[in-house]
Amino acid sequence: MAEGTGKRPFWMHQAVEYLLGGALVATGLQSPTPIVPAAVGGLIMLHAAITRGPLSAFRWVGRRTHRVIDIGIIAIEVLAALQVWISIEAGARIIMVGVAVVHTFVWWQSSYTTKVKSPKVAPTLVEGDRSADMGRTAGRAVGNGVNAVKRAAEKRRS
């Protein structure tokens, strides 16, 4: 879960969108009237793919924008299921409404915040620190050994 918010991380939101879109595309492929469920499913998957996040493909849209567009996508899902102009099988309509309900719940329970990367801090070597002294000594020993081998090789060549 996202830290302190009680909401699900964004990667989970994207994964669910891919699953919902895939389910609608599969529903369209099984239906005698495939165009509407398949198109809406493709739209959902495209929306997940273009948003900056762990599972995105293109990273064109920010998470805040994604959150606002999600409301429009959910509205499209409902309108596409309830419209009467294009013939859709009854089972596909029910699945589309179910997908809209699940998508609404996921939207409501998702965290859209991005993790802030903490700056890398170089470790400070303190004189008298036993582990730092041992590491320094080991590094010098290896360096001296490598240099001795190089000098010996140069003497042989000349």
Which pLDDT tens digit goes with each residue over 99-144? Answer: 999 999 999 988 888 777 777 766 665 666 777 778 888 889 999 9
Predicted local distance difference test score (pLDDT) of residue 158: 75
Backbone angles phi, psi at 51, to 5 degrees: -95, 135
The residue ranking higher by pLDDT, 131 or 11, is 11
Distance of CA 21 to the CA centre of its chain: 16
Which pLDDT tens digit goes with each residue over 87-109? Answer: 899 899 999 999 999 999 999 98
Alpha-carbon distances, residue 131 vs 137, 140, 144 (angstroms): 10, 14, 20
Position 76 pLDDT exceeds 90: yes
Single out the residue of 126, 152, 142, 112 nearest to residue 8, CA to CA: 112
Predicted local distance difference test score (pLDDT) of residue 125: 58
**pTM of structure:** 0.68
Single out the residue of 44, 41, 53 nearest to residue 112, CA to CA: 53
Tokens 């099984």 map to which residue?
Answer: 30
Position 71 pLDDT exceeds 60: yes
Mean pLDDT score across all residues of the chain: 87
Contacts of 112 (CB under 8 A, 6+ apart): 10, 13, 63, 64, 66, 67
How many Cβ atoms are within 10 Å of 85's Cβ, its own excluded? 6
